[in-house]
Structure 1
Amino acid sequence: MTRIVPCPRKRLFSRNVVKSFDLLRFWISGLVVACLVAIASAPVAASERHRRIVLVVAGNVSVRDLADPKFPHINRLLGLGSIGLMNVRTGRPNKLMEIPEKPGMEGRCVSIGAGAMAVGGAEVRRAANVDQLVGSVPAGKLWACRTGGRLSRDEVVHPEIALIQRINGASTYRAKPGLLGSVLRLAGVRTAVIGNSSIPGEQHAEACAIVMDERGTVALGDVSSRNLEEFDEYAPYSIRTNLAYVVRIVDRALVRCRFVVVDIGDTYRADRYGEYCTDAQAAIIRRWAIGRLDKLVGLLMSRLDFDADSLILASPSPRAVTEMEGERLTPLVIYGPGFRGGLLTSPSTRRTGIVTICDVAPTVLSILGLRIPNEMTGRPVYAVPNKDPRPFLLDLNLRAILQSQRQILVRATSILYSAVVVLVTFALLMGSAKARTIRVACWVALIPPAMVLAVVYTPLLYSGGLLGTAMAIAGLTVLVLLVFGYALKEPTRVFVWLCVVLIASILIDLLRGAVLISSCVAGYGLVEGARYYGLGNELMGSLLGAALAGTGMVLKHWERELRRAAIAFAVILGIVFVFTGWPTLGANMGGAMSTAAALAAALFVLWGFRLSLSSVIVVVAVALLAAASMFAVDLLRAGGAQSHIGRLAEAASSGKLAGALVIAQRKIALNLMLVSTSVWSKLLGLSVVASLVMYAVSRRKHGSGLGAENRVENATLAGGLVGTIAAFAFNDSGVLAAAACAVILWCYIALRYGESLSQVGERLDGSH
């Protein structure tokens, strides 16, 4: 049998080459594994490194206090971190809360913890350590008795948590106290609170409300005065914070906690004590307190790794003792990843250097990488570049103070408009046969639209205090009337051009970022904080009134060109609708809905429809569809860039209709309150009554008078009436918007009534 011997296989590569390939595969495999490990571990390492935040609470401090270069650690913090001014507006007090004799940080600390405008009184001050006696009962047992809960290892509790929740449940904003703490607890983030601002006979541990959860508990900390305070005969109330003890507790907390709140206390006590001192001594005490804050900031900065950690310095409450009336904005400083210099801003305000107190909690959650609940109305702040932010903020603070001082002129203009309405209406009704009286009355009737135009342009001439602004508005109003009167001769022509210039000015300014609108007295104050961007209610009402009345005055002789008139109304009011409601322009949903309703009513009259239930339903449907279109536009934008309109729509679309209903309820309650208290409600009533009286008298005495057989004019009047009603119904502070619209429409009716009287007088003269 023949043995078959296999042929030896020829090697493709030598043994050395094969070994090289094996070594190469080994190194490639190792490199891939190393990369995968690095990729997998990098986010974990980053997330762990970015989980420590220290929030220093320094009550009753202004940006001017921090800008003093004599304090090295604060100066270094301002140079390295990002800084802004914070509006500390909270919800309206209600009858359930315990009204403090001298309010401090109570409602503001609750607002920070809720991420929304909350309310709170003296009950917020009474947080305590679990073993601290409240009367004769330990605070932990009192908390358990009131809540039915069980303490695990929590060190600080708030025995008044049930009352605080009940107070906010009955408030207009329905904020959720302790929401920030609850989100952190559910995410496994431990928290601590250290310090108080107590004065003899008055406990102030409200900083606990920033970090407590909805149960009213905090994992670690100390808010009792036993160890936190030390005697100092030269300090306010002979008390100062024991900084050495505070830092020891902070060191312990930073090992176990990732969000620590520290209330220095000295700044609040210094400001409160300054009420009993001379101005010079109050200033000395204040500088001493800021020096103590400077020392604490230095100690904390030396303990934090700012490649991972963040330090936030916030003053929840403004100074009570200040030489600048109206100084209500407080400083907010953040230093850490993402906050390396520049100015703070927020989607809540869209104003460089301005944030709100409701933005603090979302910012904390954003830094920690946690989801922000819909119940928080604030938005995370971010930094924008600025080479020298301190002078910018000092100037912004001064401008905000001056604006708050001159904001009272808004009320003064409404009183003046009311007087003009009464005097002109009386003169026209009682001086029917006197041509001179009629002409003078018609010129005086032009004061409201001329003054609105003057108000818009006053910031170009003067942006100082109250008296100078009042003189500038008065002088510019007279100048506008003189120039327009000299050029156009007739009151009706002047009125048309006033409307044209007013509409163009507002729309162009919205395109420019609302520079004039935000600065004028009819705009929105940074201190008041009702609105920070877009188109405010007063100018929105004036814009709607001018668009309707100006268009109607131009088209009053187009009764045989109804199709062209309808197109003109649709184009002009359509442009106003877009500018008013567009999220990056006017961002005024109530104004957009009012404009859409007014346009629908005007077109109905032009097309010959009569008033009926079906026509009313259609008008309301048009307004709602218009609102839906703007909601849709804002929903398409990113969440951080959405306006309040888009956030409301997002909440409603995600099934949270209760939030939308709460907002509607708040708007209704505010309108009802303003009807009985605001001077604008008087202007609204006078304008509507005077307009109806002149319309009725014109139709009764002069059958061919105002609106008689003139569908264009009737369309103007119908649109004005519906627009005024819609402005009242669809806006919070709707009384103001409705009054601003109604007074412009009254001016239109007064001028048309004056024209009809002049025509009657001419016919009488001709018959003689």
Structure 2
Amino acid sequence: MTAAVLLCAVRVQAAPLSEAPGKFGFEPPSRRRAAIVIIADGFSLRQAREPGGPTLHSFLDSASIGIANSRTADGGDRLLSAISTLGAGRRMAARQWAGYGLRGDEIIGSERARDIYLRRTGLKADVSSGEILCLGYPELEIMGKDSPYQGRPGLIGESLRLAGLAAAAVGNSDAGEAMARPAVILAMDASGRVTGGAVGPEANALDPGAPFGISCDVFRMAQAVADALTDLQVSLVAVDFGDMNRLARYFPNLSAEARLEQVSECYARLDRLFGAIFEVVGPPSDDVAYMLVSPGEASTLGPVAIAGWQYAAGMLSSDTTRREGLVANLDFAATLLEGLGVPEAWPNDGSPMIGLRARDGQDVAGELADMAESLQTAASSRVPVLGTFIGMVVVAVFAVLAVALLGASTPALLVGATRFLLLAVAVQPLLLLLAPIFRVEGIGATLFFIAIGSAAISAALLRAFPSCMRSSAGIAFATGVAILADALSGGALASTSLLGHSAIVGARYYGIGNELMGALIGSVAISLAALGEAARRGGGTASYGPSETLAVVAIVMGVISILLGHSGIGANFGGMVTAAVVASFMGRMVVSRSGLSRRAKVGAVLAIVLLAIALCAGMAWIDALGARSSHIGRAWRLLIERSRGGMDGGDEIAFPRGDDSGSGPAATSAGLDRLAVIVWRKLGMNMRLLRYTDWTRVLLAFLVSLTVLAGKPFGLFRRFRDDYPALHGSLLGALAGALAALIVNDSGVVACATVAMMPTLTLLGYVVDEIVAQRA
């Protein structure tokens, strides 16, 4: 079942609530902001439309709704890791001990919680205040530091503490002997403390018909919320509706009929909890906002909804995703803290969510439920479909090598099959990009579409054109144009294609991902060179030689670099650098072919390199200055801010206790540390991908083929250089770019393989053409 978290972010004023103070008598002070977070692990938009009660339905009908990426760091408990990620604004992992949140005087085993806390943290708990302690905080903090995401728990609670405010926690997901209190994780500060609340058995009721014999006592929980909010410092109450989590754990023990009954009862009880809290706080309004966000399973998208505040009925979005209806779990903390008007204690990776008003008659919840299922279908299809494509690429590469080894003695059937397979493989990236236009979904449907489409196009090209190399270059041109056209028109295909970025994987949500980035750079480089060769061989432009062709390719690749670095088009820093490297390499080749003196050539090459560096730095700087910076601009701005020790405009970064990196050498060190984190994370991702991704097979196949073809027994690489010098130069430039992509991208092996793909396939097309000519 999907996990869900309901955040009721509330700005409370005396006027509307004093007229109806509620059955528990809570009188909110004037102009006070507060937040109530209800964790309901298992909430589903589609299920809520059936068994959900009137209060829940009314909330959803008036809310801005979205679906959220749910990824966390690896190696922890699902629910606790999800809540830790929500609270940190960065991907976190949490193990079982993180769920142990107890009052200092509570007994666990044979010891008091405060004694265990003291032994683990070295800090004394204030027992008289009734504060709640997260006994697993030290382990959670270490796991965050050891993670490539460098998350730090306690962001929400620490931000409130630094602002002179506090948080409370209510409810639990305890089941039998297992303790799980995620509300404490969400609300705690940087030392693992929560001001107060009720997270023990007092929040539950004995219920023989419920999973594990207990259920949430919604009226006691609502009373605990009201009691917590009477403390003028408490601005956040995290409420864990643990019944859904207990049901998920108990599910294997239930019959089909019992499952339906228990699910209905859970939603009915959640509806009653909503009603009880509405009586205390009031319904959604300009002053009271209720927000639903579901972190979900790692492979799902969880629902998010906000009613009240400035959020009207409609869909949610954020600068993290830039997609209507889609947000990220990383946005939770940023949204909550902005709503409370509290500065963030330290940087995080999220952005505040924004509401987009619904169209008349729009079924927002239904559309988003369908959208989530479609994106999950695409995510489940991605590995098998791309795995099949990668397998075909490898087979095609080694088939060409077999033809090269056999030479003129190659059987005609093998030559024909190799030509057919080579073109079929070359056109598949284009078909994968275009598949969403034809509403192709699912593994079987996608594989059928790709197989039929690539076979038909390959057969048509072989019938119409004798040269496999020129057909490959033509396919590359069409692929490059399609990727560019999609990027310039908003990237709708890139956001839904299996070769684009996945909302569930969450590596990116907009722009051009590494697969399409690599295909774009390689396709443009090789196809423009092919056009130049065609112009040169056409005889009408005798003065248009290889140098002119390479100069055009260099200029165009510079433009591609700008487009890839643009925050509203490509938003791909690694791609920008890769294209700049290709452009620089091409420029160096043009300079080396010129009649300049040696010193002038060195100066010209140096100028080209400096221009490329300035272009990349300038694009990142411009992005950082924008009102809606991409992840590139935010990373650049963070590096600068940490080095300066503050933010532009005089706003200082609020560092947590014990961190004196606010100025001077310490601030510079902090900026360098952040840069080191980014580099280390990219290197770590590359090492993992080299071992596990199928794209490594493509990369190895290309390396083997290029090595063999460059050998003396064949001399095909040398003949390719002599026959098509511009194509040869573009191939080398693309390979240099592929090497750069391997270094500067966090999924470098993917980028490297895709940059090299179209140029290598074009070279292999030349090899097959040579064998056909020998046979003739």
Instruction: Tell whether 2:645 aligns with 1:658.
Output: no
| Contact 2:101 2:181 (8 Å CA) reproduced | yes
| Contact 1:54 1:312 (8 Å CA) reproduced | no
Tell me the residue number matched to 2:504. Answer: 527
Tell me the residue number matched to 2:634. Answer: 647
| Contact 2:103 2:131 (8 Å CA) reproduced | yes
SS at match of 2:681: helix
Q: 1:536 aligns with which of 487, 506, 513?
A: 513
Distance 1:351 1:438, change over 3 A: same
1:635 Cα deviation (Å)? Answer: 1.7
Taking the TM superposition and a 5 Å limit, the aligned residue runs for 1:26-37 are: none
SS at match of 2:389: helix
Amino acid corresponding to residue 264 of structure 1 in structure 2: F
* Separation of aligned partners in 1, 2:562 and 2:133: 51
SS at match of 2:330: helix
* Separation of aligned partners in 2, 1:464 and 1:440: 29
Taking the TM superposition and a 5 Å limit, the aligned residue runs for 1:261-340 are: 261-305=238-282, 306-318=285-297, 328-340=300-312
Amino acid corresponding to residue 311 of structure 1 in structure 2: Y
Q: 2:707 aligns with which of 674, 686, 692?
A: 692
Per-residue Cα deviation, 1:68-111 (whole angstroms, up to 9, x for no partner): 37511111111222221111111122xxxxx5xxx331111111
* Separation of aligned partners in 2, 1:703 and 1:47: 79
Per-residue Cα deviation, 1:473-511 (whole angstroms, up to 9, x for no partner): 211212222333444443233222211211111111112
* Separation of aligned partners in 2, 1:529 and 1:705: 45
Q: 2:69 aligns with which of 76, 87, 100?
A: 87
1:710 Cα deviation (Å)? Answer: 5.7
Tell me the residue number matched to 2:573. Answer: 589
Distance 1:130 1:704, change over 3 A: closer
Distance 1:423 1:710, change over 3 A: closer
| Contact 1:199 1:237 (8 Å CA) reproduced | yes
Distance 1:273 1:706, change over 3 A: same
* Separation of aligned partners in 2, 1:59 and 1:510: 37
Q: 1:627 aligns with which of 610, 613, 616?
A: 616
Per-residue Cα deviation, 1:180-214 (whole angstroms, up to 9, x for no partner): 11011110122101011111121111221111001
* Separation of aligned partners in 1, 2:731 and 2:103: 66
Q: 1:229 aligns with which of 204, 207, 216?
A: 204
Distance 1:91 1:619, change over 3 A: farther
Tell me the residue number matched to 1:604. Answer: 588
1:440 Cα deviation (Å)? Answer: 4.4
SS at match of 1:549: helix
* Separation of aligned partners in 2, 1:135 and 1:177: 26
Give the TM-score normalised by structure 1.
0.86
Tell me the residue number matched to 1:376. Answer: 348
Tell me the residue number matched to 2:3. Answer: none
* Separation of aligned partners in 2, 1:67 and 1:285: 16
Per-residue Cα deviation, 1:635-657 (whole angstroms, up to 9, x for no partner): 2211xx11100001101112133
Per-residue Cα deviation, 1:142-186 (whole angstroms, up to 9, x for no partner): 212222223332521112211111111111011110011101111
Computing the radius of gyration from Cα coordinates, the structure with the larger value is 1
Instruction: Tell whether 2:438 aligns with 1:461.
Output: yes
| Contact 2:52 2:271 (8 Å CA) reproduced | no
Amino acid corresponding to residue 308 of structure 1 in structure 2: D
SS at match of 2:722: coil
Q: 1:681 aligns with which of 693, 696, 711?
A: 696
Tell me the residue number matched to 1:496. Answer: 473
* Separation of aligned partners in 1, 2:125 and 2:715: 81
Give the TM-score normalised by structure 2.
0.85
1:709 Cα deviation (Å)? Answer: 8.0
SS at match of 1:517: coil
Q: 1:385 aligns with which of 354, 357, 366?
A: 357
1:344 Cα deviation (Å)? Answer: 1.2
Tell me the residue number matched to 1:137. Answer: 111
Distance 1:181 1:620, change over 3 A: farther
1:617 Cα deviation (Å)? Answer: 8.2
1:246 Cα deviation (Å)? Answer: 0.8
Q: 1:219 aligns with which of 172, 189, 195?
A: 195
1:133 Cα deviation (Å)? Answer: 1.1
Amino acid corresponding to residue 221 of structure 1 in structure 2: G
SS at match of 1:515: coil
Taking the TM superposition and a 5 Å limit, the aligned residue runs for 1:149-298 are: 149-152=123-126, 153-225=129-201, 227-256=202-231, 257-298=234-275
Amino acid corresponding to residue 695 of structure 1 in structure 2: A
1:383 Cα deviation (Å)? Answer: 0.5
* Separation of aligned partners in 2, 1:104 and 1:712: 54
Per-residue Cα deviation, 1:288-319 (whole angstroms, up to 9, x for no partner): 11111111011112222433233233333349
Tell me, which stretches of 5 or more residues in structure 2 are unaligned?
1-27, 537-542, 644-670
1:538 Cα deviation (Å)? Answer: 1.0
* Separation of aligned partners in 2, 1:724 and 1:494: 23
Per-residue Cα deviation, 1:409-451 (whole angstroms, up to 9, x for no partner): 1222112211221122222222344484545433422233211
Per-residue Cα deviation, 1:719-739 (whole angstroms, up to 9, x for no partner): 021111011111111111111
* Separation of aligned partners in 2, 1:732 and 1:619: 26
SS at match of 1:516: coil
Taking the TM superposition and a 5 Å limit, the aligned residue runs for 1:352-431 are: 352-373=324-345, 375-387=347-359, 388=362, 389-408=364-383, 409-431=385-407
Per-residue Cα deviation, 1:657-704 (whole angstroms, up to 9, x for no partner): 322221111010010111111111111011122122113347x54696
Amino acid corresponding to residue 124 of structure 2 in structure 1: R
Distance 1:670 1:204, change over 3 A: same
* Separation of aligned partners in 2, 1:391 and 1:47: 38
| Contact 1:605 1:711 (8 Å CA) reproduced | no
Tell me the residue number matched to 1:351. Answer: 323
SS at match of 1:724: helix
Amino acid corresponding to residue 106 of structure 1 in structure 2: L
Distance 1:365 1:261, change over 3 A: same
* Separation of aligned partners in 1, 2:724 and 2:369: 57
Tell me the residue number matched to 2:525. Answer: 548
* Separation of aligned partners in 1, 2:632 and 2:165: 32
Instruction: Tell whether 2:684 aligns with 1:672.
Output: no
* Separation of aligned partners in 1, 2:70 and 2:119: 33
| Contact 2:565 2:620 (8 Å CA) reproduced | no
Distance 1:701 1:520, change over 3 A: closer
| Contact 1:267 1:293 (8 Å CA) reproduced | no
Tell me the residue number matched to 2:54. Answer: 72
Taking the TM superposition and a 5 Å limit, the aligned residue runs for 1:499-518 are: 499-518=476-495
| Contact 1:428 1:441 (8 Å CA) reproduced | no
Tell me the residue number matched to 1:21. Answer: none
**Which stretch of the first structure deviates more once superposed, 256-265 or 578-587?**
578-587
1:259 Cα deviation (Å)? Answer: 0.9
Amino acid corresponding to residue 566 of structure 2 in structure 1: W
* Separation of aligned partners in 2, 1:614 and 1:232: 82
Between the two proteins, the alignment pairs up a number of residues equal to: 697
* Separation of aligned partners in 2, 1:692 and 1:74: 64
| Contact 1:694 1:750 (8 Å CA) reproduced | no
SS at match of 2:352: coil
Tell me, which stretches of 5 or more residues in structure 1 are unaligned?
1-45, 94-98, 320-325, 763-768
* Separation of aligned partners in 2, 1:716 and 1:453: 21
Instruction: Tell whether 2:764 aligns with 1:750.
Output: yes
| Contact 2:94 2:143 (8 Å CA) reproduced | yes
Amino acid corresponding to residue 595 of structure 1 in structure 2: A
